[in-house]
Structure formats: structure tokens, C-alpha cells
Structure 1
Amino acid sequence: MRNHWDVVEAGELMSRPGPDLIAGAPEPVRRLLEAVQALDPLIAAQRSQFDGARRLPDEVFAALADAGLFRLWLPGALGGPELSPLDFMRVVEAASALDGSVGWLVGNGGGMSRIGGYLGEAVAREWFADPRAFVAGATGAVGTATAVAGGYRLSGRWPFGSGAHHAARFMGLASVRPEDPVSPLLCCYLGRAEVTILDNWHVSGLRGTGSCDFEARDVFVPAAHVHPFLGPQPTQPGLLYRLPPVSVFAWSICGVPLGIASGAIASFAELACRKSRLGTRALLRDRETVQATVGRARATLRAARTFLIGAMTELMAAAETGGQRLVEARADIRIANAHAAETAMSVADELAASAGAAAIFESCALERAVRDVHAAAKHIAMSPNNYIVAGRLTLGLDPGTARF
């Protein structure tokens, strides 16, 4: 059996987590994948509510929390599984293969549990004593933190607070000197009663994530509830908490597009076994062009996943050595994220095209996969601008961004 930090085999292609995949997984990943599989009927039964409510139903959210899927990176010393980045991605992919919005919240919630490695132990234990604790984090804007005795007065408005309706805590970025572009950024954590949630999540894809804006006006934040964004000092010893914060923040959701695309392949295979094209009795699965499309989809998705796994494996190694190796590893993880998202979009689009008119109906899983994967790929962590950063470094220039 592989140990806690072993690499997931590059050849494994995630889809719905079947018995063979689960049986080959190490503990505690096996239990988490089994939990994801067990949630499939509940998600399927309530999926029709996701879009209309623009958030997950309370029952689905509670089931995800009770399965431990929002604590994936909580330190072991605090009772969490402290998954390796690769095992984390494996669980996020499996959840995303069932539903993009579900996978997105597992990635965000499970990823934010990593703050237990930066906060003081007493604070972290208090916040995560509730097994359903969920922290909504947003880095798409920078608020203002005014230093006062014992902490800061915080004001700001932050977009894309995924899971906001169910969150117990909210993290917003802030600067003590917002007029200074190189001023250090702070992660400031607020209680639910201290923020106002703005119901503005009217979007095409990932509708069930409830990624609303939230704002705070002159709220006192104790110093114990604040830590630097780019250079936090870990309070826990694991390698996970020593990895570059920007890289790990992006990694928390990079498995979502891959999982959505894997789920799309499974959905298309089911459809192709029972659907024929108009004017012919031949099933889709019997057409060589369709067979080639599915084969190419598997190949490109596996290749993108292999690149992503390799980039994170190198980042983990480079974090221990530092220097130029770490700089290059940071650049590679960025382009691996962007490449994975582009590949996942291409796979979903090609499968939907092969399915024909069936793929435009909301009753078809491919329709949802297409809009969800396109929405996920719009996240800055997977932006095509990542290629520019890597290109600049290769050409001997600086990265061109302060968040590197």
C-alpha cells in the first residue's frame, strides 16, 4: 500500500469512483472516495434544485460536510486527514465527475481547511470543532485593513465567495496600504455575522456553488485571525503548509475541470450505447468517428493529468531545495493548470458535438458539463495568462505579477 505522500499513478483516469479505483486507493483516500460514491444518488435526486436556487440544497451540503469532504487539508494534529496534494486532487476529481458544482465546493472547502496550518492551534481547533465548518475564501479583490490595538479594522467587498450561503467563516484579502501595489497582502478571517452576503450569483455554469460577493464595513479582526497571504509562517510541520501559497491555492480547484471532463466521458459512453443519429438505426457507439473521438478524449485528458501530476510532484520536491528550481516549478504548475482546463473544455465540447442535438437539453449531463467546465476554466488559477508568466521567465524576464 502506498504511503501518505505517494504519487497517484499518471495512468489512472478519474470518472465516477468505481470499486476498482477505490480498492486501489490508500487510506484515508479510500474512505473519502467511498463517501463520494455513496453521495451519487442524493446528488442525482436533488440536482434539479442546484440551478434554480443557485446554491446546493442544505441536505446535499450537510452530506458533503458529514463525509469530511470540507476538511481534506486540515492538519493531522487537529484531527484532519492532511491529504497530500495528489490525493487531494484525486478526491476533488471524483466529486467533480459527479457534478461540477459539488466538486468546486469540495475543492474550495477542502482547500480552505489548510488554514489550520497557519492559524494558532487554539483558534484552529475552535473553528474546526464543528464538523460542518466551511470557510469561504475570496482573493479576487483587496480590501483595506487599518491597524489598531489588538488587530485590524477591515472593510471591503470580495467576489466569488463560493459556498457563501453555508459558510461559517469568510476570508478576504486586505492591504494595510492599498495605494501601494507591493504592500503585503493579509488573509483576514471574519465570522458569518460580520459580513453581508450579496445575492448576485446569476451565471451560466457552476450555478450550484452560490459564489456570491460578500462585504464587510469597519469590522474588527483580531490579530490572531490574520496571517500573510504570500509568506505565512506555518504553525504545523507538514510539507503541505510550506508549499507556495499561490500555487496551492490554485491547486485546490485545478482538478475540477478534469473531473468534469471525466464525468462527461462516462456520460457520453452511456448515451452512445442507446442513442442513434437521426435517419439511421446505427448506435453512436458503432461509428468509427465517435470511437475515435472518445479515444482521443481519453488520451488528451490522461496527458493533461500526467502533466499536472508531474508539475505538482516537482513543486513538492523543489519546495525543499528552493532557488531557481522552485521558481521554475511555480511556473510549470501555472501552465499545467491552464493546460488541464483547456484540455477539459476541449474534451467536453467535442463529446457534446458528437452527441448532437441531445446535448443542448438540460436533461442531458453533457449540457451541464459543458457550461460547468467553461465556468471553472474562467478562474484566474487556470487563466491563459499563466502561459505569459512561464514565457517571461523562460525569456529571462521577471514574472510580470506580484502574485507569484
Structure 2
Amino acid sequence: MTRSATGTTTGTIPISLVHAAKQYASLPEGTSLPSEVLAGIYEAKLFKLFVPKDLNGLMLPLPDALRVFAEASEIDGTFGWLVTIGSGGGFFSATLPPEEAQKQFAPANAVVAGSGLPSGVAHPVEGGYRVSGQWKYCSGSTFASLYTANCRIDRGAEAEPEIRSFAFLPDQVRIIRDWNSFGLKGTDSHSMAVDDVFVPEERTFSIMSLPNYDDPIFRYPFLPFAQTSFAAVCLGICRHFLAEADLFVAAKRAEWEPAKPGRAEETKRAISRQEAKLEAEAAKFYETVERTWNAFLAAGEMTEEDQAEVGTVCRQLSGSVLAYAHAIFPLLGMAVLMEEHPINRIWRDLHTVTQHAVLVPKPELV
């Protein structure tokens, strides 16, 4: 991994896609990913970082994939979030029966959108289930090839509570365009609904079941998988914020200097201090992830202590990136209060991703 004029590079994101994503970031906020950006993602297999090679995936080790997520998010928050969420759906490729997994995950444009909330109801019928429900915050909802969601199984009032995951085809899903967040506006994180659709048994699964592929990621616990993925997005967006702030100050130097000599230089030094703190935090994050990943590979399972440590370092990184951005934002003046300003957009994207439930601080620690 290196630093270049385009940011932190892993070599996984082609330079042509970097340029296309940067051009996308200049479009009106809330614009969905253009077809040329999606085509570049498909070609680079960025939605398949956790899909087995037998299914035309890349199957990167978790620490390597996290660096890709950070790099993508440093280019643009929406781009990075969608790459991360789309890749995360590959986690389910080992839960479906192999023939169904081949059908749903092998195509070049395969990508999952969905929700983990059990806000649907499934009624058992011959050969499968009849399912109805509605789920919020389904990022990538407008271009997904498969939709996944959790449902409560209705086996009657006397039955034990049971939750199962379901995979829906696009023609079974109704998209409710209700994503009106103040950040990550272009992620199309709308609600989805299904209305009494039939789902065959082979398109249902449990993430607690034994995986059908041997790749280590499928045995990695889902919570730290999500926490590390989203923490990497936080890291990339914060790097972008500080880099844009530095460019902004350089452009304002001539305007600021007559009224307040030294303002630009002092502000640039403040930005450099926050960048140093961020990179120290990033080093701690990656060291923790890599050490616990290697221990997981050696033992075949992840200890509760390591899971707790990973969760702590991810929540700490999420809080730290906000602190570093908060330290700089007031120094930049009134111009960055305008919603159309790039720094304002990045600021709101950062606050949106850090609001995810797996990254927010525990209430008792606040």
C-alpha cells in the first residue's frame, strides 16, 4: 500500500475507476452511481472481495479488503460505502446451497442489498415460504441483483421463536424511495418490501450454519466483520476530509493573509497534527485486525477476547475520526457551511457512517 496524488492506493482499484469515481463525486449530491462507475466496479470485482474464486470472486483476506474499503472511501464516501456494503454481501455466498450460490453470485454483476433486521414474516408452505415484510436502509437497492433479509418464521402461536434469512430476486422486491439522510445521499439506502412472495427453500439460509466453502472469512464472526468494514470506511472518509481541508486552506491563503497574517499556516499545521493522529489511529486499527486475524487463522476460531478488542478499536476509530474533523471544521470559515461545498459533503458523509449501530459508543461509556 502506498500514498500517491490520488490518495492511499492498494492497487485493487484501477486508476480509470478512481478517475470515474472522482468525477461522480463532482455530480449533484444524491446522484446514484452512474453506469460507468458500476461497470468499473463489476470489472474490478470490487463487489466480490469476499466471494470464492469458484464463483468468480477475488476472495481477499480481511485485512487486505479493509484497505480497499478505506481507499474507496477516501475517493468518495458514497463510492466507498457501496463498495463495502456490496462486498459484504459476498459473506452470504457460502450460506446458500452451492448450486444456488453459483446462480446468484457467479455473474459479473452479482451484488447483494438487504437488511439484518427481522422485520418480515415467513409462512412455511410446500417447497418453501410465503414472505411479506418491509426493511429499511438497504444500500445499493437500485442496482442489486439479489436482496437478502431476515424474517420471523410463523409456525403458530405455540412454536419456538425462529429467525431465518431469505434471498429475493429483483422482480419480487418493491423499492420505497425513502432514504433522506443528510449524508451518503447517493447510496440509495432505501427501504425494500415484499408482498406475499414465494421463496423456495434453496433461497433461504442461516448465517449460523456451517459454510459451504472453506475460505476463512466464512468462519469469521459477523459482528467484527461488520465493525472492521465500516471502521475502514470511516478512516477513508476522514483522510479525504483532512486532505480537502488542506487544499482549501492553500487556496484561501492569499485571501486570508491580509486580514489575519499567519492564519493559513497555523491552520495547515493544525491539519497536519490531526493527520498524524489519524494515521497513528489507523496503524493501531490495522495492527489489531491483522494480529487477531492471524490468531483466528491459526486457531480456526476467534476468541471472545479478540472479538471484544476488535469491537473496541473500531468504536474508538469511529469516535476519533469525528474528533479530528471537529477540530478542523471551525477553522475553515463560513464557506464550508454551504451544503454544496465538497468539505461540507464529506463532513456529512463522515457523520452518517459513524452513526451506524455497530460503531456508536456504548451508552454507559458516554
TM-score (norm 2): 0.89
- Determine whether 1:212 maps to 2:207: no
- Determine whether 1:146 maps to 2:131: no
Q: Output one character per residue of 1:298-342: Cα deviation in whole Å (capped at 9) or x when no partner.
A: 23212332332233234422475478x711112222222221111
Letter in 1 for 2:317: A
What is the count of residue pairs matched by the alignment? 361
C-alpha separation between the residues in 1 aligned to 2:27 and 2:321?
Answer: 25
- Structure 1 runs not aligned, ≥5 long: 1-7, 392-404
Report how far residue 358 of structure 1 moved: 2.6
Describe the shift of the 1:295–1:47 C-alpha distance in structure 2 as closer, same or farther (beyond 3 A).
closer
Q: Output one character per residue of 1:234-259: Cα deviation in whole Å (capped at 9) or x when no partner.
A: 11111111101222133332211110
Letter in 1 for 2:203: H
SS of 2:46's equivalent in the other structure is: coil
The answer to whether the 8 Å contact 1:72/1:82 transfers is yes
The answer to whether the 8 Å contact 2:135/2:149 transfers is yes
The answer to whether the 8 Å contact 1:187/1:226 transfers is yes
C-alpha separation between the residues in 1 aligned to 2:313 and 2:91?
Answer: 22
Alignment of 1:58-207 (within 5 A): 58-176=35-153, 183-207=161-185
1:260 aligned residue: 237
1:394 aligned residue: none
Question: Of 20, 24, 36, which aligns to 1:42?
Answer: 20
- Determine whether 1:239 maps to 2:247: no
- Structure 2 runs not aligned, ≥5 long: none
C-alpha separation between the residues in 1 aligned to 2:154 and 2:105?
Answer: 31
The answer to whether the 8 Å contact 1:16/1:263 transfers is no
The answer to whether the 8 Å contact 1:234/1:241 transfers is yes
Letter in 2 for 1:280: A
The answer to whether the 8 Å contact 1:97/1:262 transfers is yes
Letter in 2 for 1:175: R
SS of 2:358's equivalent in the other structure is: helix
Describe the shift of the 1:234–1:209 C-alpha distance in structure 2 as closer, same or farther (beyond 3 A).
same
Describe the shift of the 1:140–1:370 C-alpha distance in structure 2 as closer, same or farther (beyond 3 A).
farther
Letter in 2 for 1:207: K
Report how far residue 365 of structure 1 moved: 2.2
Report how far residue 214 of structure 1 moved: 0.3
SS of 1:164's equivalent in the other structure is: coil
2:200 aligned residue: 222
Report how far residue 177 of structure 1 moved: 5.4
- Determine whether 1:301 maps to 2:300: no
The answer to whether the 8 Å contact 2:152/2:163 transfers is yes
- Cα RMSD after superposing both structures: 2.8
Letter in 1 for 2:104: W
SS of 1:383's equivalent in the other structure is: coil
- Determine whether 1:280 maps to 2:259: yes
1:3 aligned residue: none
